[in-house]
Amino acid sequence: MERTYKVNSQLLPQGFPREFDAHIYFSNESLQFATELREKAIKEFAGRQVFVGQMIPEAIGPHPIPMFEINFPLSLFTEVVLWLMKARGDLSVLVHELTGDDLYDHTQAALWLGKEVPLLYERFK
């Protein structure tokens, strides 16, 4: 089956400060809420250095369930994370630094909002 979506690393504008990433996880039951949250994020951060990616409707990489990503620089960390804390509802959110070391980024440099999703860390080896 061919993918109908692209991940943020394929979509980011050239020169975008890719310093932090948020993964917002959803299920079939929470798809509508997640879709609305994505649209709200696009509106909330319009004109800012915040990039909201496409809905990823399947497990990919270390992420065992569907999600969408938001990328942002350190300068907007507090604003984006506080917004996600309030707007995420019951969705689980992983926020992490992007250092180039995926295992470190998704473990030691990770912050969870809501229930932690058990990632497939063996994918990083």
pLDDT band per the 50, 70, 90 thresholds, residue 1: low
Domain ranges of the chain: 26-123
* Of the options 3.30.1330.30, 3.30.2130.10, 3.30.70.1240, 3.90.470.10, the CATH number for the domain spanning 26-123: 3.30.70.1240
Q: Compute φ and ψ for 68, nearest 5 degrees.
A: -135, 160
Do 69 and 21 touch, CB atoms closer than 8 A? yes
pLDDT band per the 50, 70, 90 thresholds, residue 120: very high
Closest CA to 20 of 88, 84, 86: 84
The residue with tokens 């319009």 is 46
Exposure of 62 in the CB half-sphere (CA atoms within 13 A): 17
* pTM (predicted TM-score): 0.93
